[in-house]
A and B are shown apart, each in its own frame.
Chain A
Amino acid sequence: MATALTPRTDVAGIYRPAGHLDAATALAPYKGAWDARMAAHLLRRAGFGSSPDEAAKYGSMDVHAAVDALIDFPTTDSLPEPDDLYDPRAAYMQYLQPGMRPGALDDMTKRKIGQDVRQHERQSVIALQRWWLNRMLVTPAPLQEKMALYFHGHFTSAAIQKGVSPVMVYNQNQLFRTSALGNLRDLTWQVSTDPAMMIYLDNARSDPQHPNENYARELMELFTLGVGNYTEQDVRESARAWTGWILRPRDGTVQFVPFRHDNGSKTFLGETGNFAGRDIVDIIFKQPASATFFANSLLNFFVYNGPEPQLVDAVAKLIRKNDFTIKPVMSTLLRSNVFYSSRAYRALVKSPVEFAIGTYKTLGAKEIDDRAQRALVQMGQILFYPPNVAGWPGGANWLTSQTVIARENFLASIVNSPMMDSVDWMQKMPLKASQAAKDLIATVLHGDASAQSVAQLTDYLNGAGTSALGMLSGENYPERIRGAAYLTMAMPAYQLN
């Protein structure tokens, strides 16, 4: 069997943690020490970080209670819905006489409507991003949102470019949320007939005479199997099987239209029959490579990059045993030895969303502010606009001089904002510089800094490098504590998840 392609996060496997994997006990339940630092690790991975209170709360449970609280998450029905989502069809309706088709409009009118629609759609998607970011911050079910983010990067679709409307973006996002811990095969099928996906990867524009291969290819390459586990012929045959699915222009709903379906016999991954889309999904999930592919992908997202083949195989086995239902798989992973091992600890690079939301969490903020979305653009992660169909490459790719500057400047801007006046722990730092430095590092980094860094932060608090050299005092306290909070968050450890 060909092995699945190593995900883009780490093509060469050079960011696999050093040291030895104990494959035999890797997935066995973790029985080691449990405290706020371990809880914070869990909350960074299965959520978006923690406020000091949350880290303390989860730290006072045991590992199983903490994971149970994340896995058996409460209902999130009481969280606010997004504001009105812009529907471009309304704009067209204004200009259309009864019975008139949009195609009958003259070019000038079409262009005018087009500009109007694009502007409103952009605004609507920006509002939707803000809604989701706030949801990540305040949800009582962080793992649900984390899985939605994982699926957003995995089953990539992008807003607007090809006519994916804000409503479609929202519906796909909801699909990922409601399928958070559901079944991967079912989700793959639902995504395949999701309007945003059908537009983004062109299945909505395919027909038996000219089957469009875009979705057929990416379904196997990026979503389920990986390169090397299918042939070009399989792509072509799959494209034929997917014909027949259309989007109704009137209401944007998905429909199967038999006369647009290629009813001929197809041979796909070694099986032959008059296959349609659902058959393609089912055949794909019969391939051993599908479980391997998802195992690799989940390990890279939740545990560490470049996981060993033995670890991938063990998780793949677990996935197959549970027939692709993801809840028991995540439950096992999040309580496993390998997840809490020193090899997994801070072994991932924070994505910009993790970095930004984690910062608001650390500050105990109740909502994001205007900085977040601007900064996320500069850090290289715009929700609903992945760079291409392969999603965000992640890992070392997140960090360039440009994106690191964006990260640090986001922090600098936020610590100098009025928001900081309401950060509880910031007001309670001791006046003794060395103690304040320790407390900052405990609160922000859960202690993950060297004694040398504590000393340097102490020096900074005591005015090193300023003309007005002087000990930390009531007079310079707000400015220096803010500066020191920035410097603590600018330390390398803070970039790591």
Chain B
Amino acid sequence: MKRRNFLAGTLTGLAVVANTQHVFAQALAQSPLPGLPGAANRCLVLINLQGGNDGLNCVVPFGNPQYYQLRPTIGVARNDVLSINDKVGFNPTMRSFKSMYDKGMIAVVQSVGYPNPDHSHFRSTEIWQTAAPDKYEHTGWLGRYLDDANLPKDNLFNGVALAQVLPEVMVAGKTDVPAIAQINGYGLISDRNNSASMAYTKLVSDNRLPFSSPYLAHVAEIEDHAQKGSQELPKLIAGYKPAGSYPATPLGRSLALAAQIVGSNLGTRVLYVQHGSFDTHVGQKATQDRLLGEFSDAIKAFYDDLAAHGADNRVLTMTFSEFGRRTAENASRGTDHGEASPLFLIGGGVKGGMYGAYPDLSDTNMGNLKFDTDFRSVYATVLERWLGRPSAPILQGQFSTIAALG
């Protein structure tokens, strides 16, 4: 997007909200980002498919007879699969998603993982979020991106997590990312009273207390940002009228809010959304089908909405899940924790199609799929070709990029 358009988009916001000028003033005063033209206006939406999405029943290798031997009861029948080619196809609940794939809006990267995979939800989620498989890293890869990208410091919405708890991926060294579960109720009751509101502002900034606590500065900062951010955000996004038919599910509501934030030009570069739980040890089909159907419909509504606002091309969505699942089903018609699985890149900048190696069901790590593409290669691709930043400092190493983004 050209700078002139960026200005035009934000001026409306300025007229509506007087007390948030600093957000834009900083954004406008900023020199153009190094890297890709237009990167300054791009946004990455990251969707965490929590719990370990079973890749084999999501992108189904129906062309491989072994698949049906491994999954006699929960295998997706060949005739039900929404076939992509003669080897694989989407789960039948993903019709909307398939229609987007057919339009070239989706890149499927198969067999994504990392060396020496961990089978614990907690640790593997941490590894994907910190992009540090070999050590315990405090900051997330998007947190490090936010610290690195020279974004306007006074903008409280450079990164936004649509979650109750701040996910590790958004933990940064220098940037506080607001976690917002829903916009209703995102505000202090005490701000309705001017006198209390003023006193609150002063009291939370008090740092000369008669005790020291490692959490004190953190608490004060969050209290301050909670007040400022909640005063500003509802006004900033009020002008945006959603234009997608979102499913009435938590993910549908999250993506509707995501579109509102991205479409309101707040300068948000990264946005986190979560969906789940995919931890289907028992009775997998009912749970996973429901979740994949919700995901597919919500994504479709999200891009319809963005397209209606001319924002679809500047929003890239990426999914991840802490691991795939065991190739063979277990006694409970479910699957246990596995290793490699596919992820999706959707929307802006994507060169639709299939990437990465097809899952090899005959050469596994004790029943778990081996990885072909290191997830950090996908991150490097997103950082360099979408967000316009050198990836090596953020990922703490050089990873090759993949061709899925152009």
Instruction: Choose among A214, A448, A452 the residue that contacts B211 (Cβ–Cβ < 8 A).
Output: A448
Distance to closest chain B CB from A12 (angstroms): 3
Q: How far is the CA of A380 from the CA of B166 in the complex (A)?
A: 11
Also in contact, A387 and B165, with CB within 8 A (given A342-B211, A402-B178, A453-B203): yes
Whether, in the assembled complex, A435 has its beta carbon less than 8 Å from a beta carbon of chain B, the answer is: no
Distance to closest chain A CB from B210 (angstroms): 6
A487 and B189 contacting across the interface, CB-CB below 8 Å: no
B213 and A412 contacting across the interface, CB-CB below 8 Å: no
Whether, in the assembled complex, B294 has its beta carbon less than 8 Å from a beta carbon of chain A, the answer is: no
- The closest CB in chain A to the CB of B168 belongs to A11
Instruction: Choose among B123, B188, B210 the residue that contacts A227 (Cβ–Cβ < 8 A).
Output: B123
Q: Which A-B residue pairs are the 6 nearest by beta carbons?
A: A12-B138, A400-B179, A465-B195, A210-B331, A412-B189, A401-B226
Q: How far is the CA of A491 from the CA of B196 in the complex (A)?
A: 12
- The closest CB in chain B to the CB of A404 belongs to B226
B213 and A496 contacting across the interface, CB-CB below 8 Å: yes
- The closest CB in chain B to the CB of A495 belongs to B219
Instruction: Choose among A214, A398, A401 the residue that contacts B230 (Cβ–Cβ < 8 A).
Output: A401
* Residues of the A chain whose Cβ atoms lie less than 8 Å from the Cβ of B204: 490-492
A413 and B202 contacting across the interface, CB-CB below 8 Å: no
CB-defined A-B contacts under 8 Å, sample of 9: A162-B282, A217-B119, A387-B165, A388-B122, A402-B164, A449-B206, A465-B197, A492-B219, A492-B223
Whether, in the assembled complex, B33 has its beta carbon less than 8 Å from a beta carbon of chain A, the answer is: no
B residues apposed to A, CB below 8 Å: 50-51, 118-123, 126, 136-138, 161, 163-166, 168, 178-181, 185-190, 193-200, 202-204, 206, 208-216, 218-220, 222-223, 225-226, 229-230, 277, 281-282, 330-332, 336-337, 366
* Residues of the A chain whose Cβ atoms lie less than 8 Å from the Cβ of B209: 448-450, 492-493
Distance to closest chain B CB from A159 (angstroms): 15
**Max chain B CB contacts within 10 Å: which of A380, A457, A465?**
A465
Instruction: Choose among A17, A404, A447 the residue that contacts B222 (Cβ–Cβ < 8 A).
Output: A404
Q: How far is the CA of A162 from the CA of B216 in the complex (A)?
A: 39
Also in contact, A12 and B137, with CB within 8 A (given A397-B165, A401-B230): yes
Instruction: Choose among B51, B164, B208 the residue that contacts A403 (Cβ–Cβ < 8 A).
Output: B164
Instruction: Choose among B122, B181, B190, B213 the residue that contacts A390 (Cβ–Cβ < 8 A).
Output: B122
Whether, in the assembled complex, A317 has its beta carbon less than 8 Å from a beta carbon of chain B, the answer is: no
* Residues of the A chain whose Cβ atoms lie less than 8 Å from the Cβ of B161: 400
B210 and A448 contacting across the interface, CB-CB below 8 Å: yes
B189 and A408 contacting across the interface, CB-CB below 8 Å: yes
* Residues of the B chain whose Cβ atoms lie less than 8 Å from the Cβ of A490: 190, 200, 203-204, 223
A408 and B188 contacting across the interface, CB-CB below 8 Å: yes
Distance to closest chain B CB from A239 (angstroms): 9
* Residues of the B chain whose Cβ atoms lie less than 8 Å from the Cβ of A405: 185-188, 226, 230
A202 and B223 contacting across the interface, CB-CB below 8 Å: no
- The closest CB in chain B to the CB of A345 belongs to B211
Q: How far is the CA of A486 from the CA of B138 in the complex (A)?
A: 34
B203 and A491 contacting across the interface, CB-CB below 8 Å: yes
Whether, in the assembled complex, A283 has its beta carbon less than 8 Å from a beta carbon of chain B, the answer is: no
- The closest CB in chain B to the CB of A377 belongs to B164
Instruction: Choose among B119, B193, B331 the residue that contacts A232 (Cβ–Cβ < 8 A).
Output: B119
B165 and A393 contacting across the interface, CB-CB below 8 Å: yes
Q: How far is the CA of A227 from the CA of B126 in the complex (A)?
A: 13
B212 and A342 contacting across the interface, CB-CB below 8 Å: yes
Distance to closest chain A CB from B229 (angstroms): 5
Which chain A residues (428-451) contact chain B, with CB distance < 8 Å? 447-451
- The closest CB in chain A to the CB of B219 belongs to A492
Distance to closest chain A CB from B248 (angstroms): 18
Distance to closest chain B CB from A102 (angstroms): 15
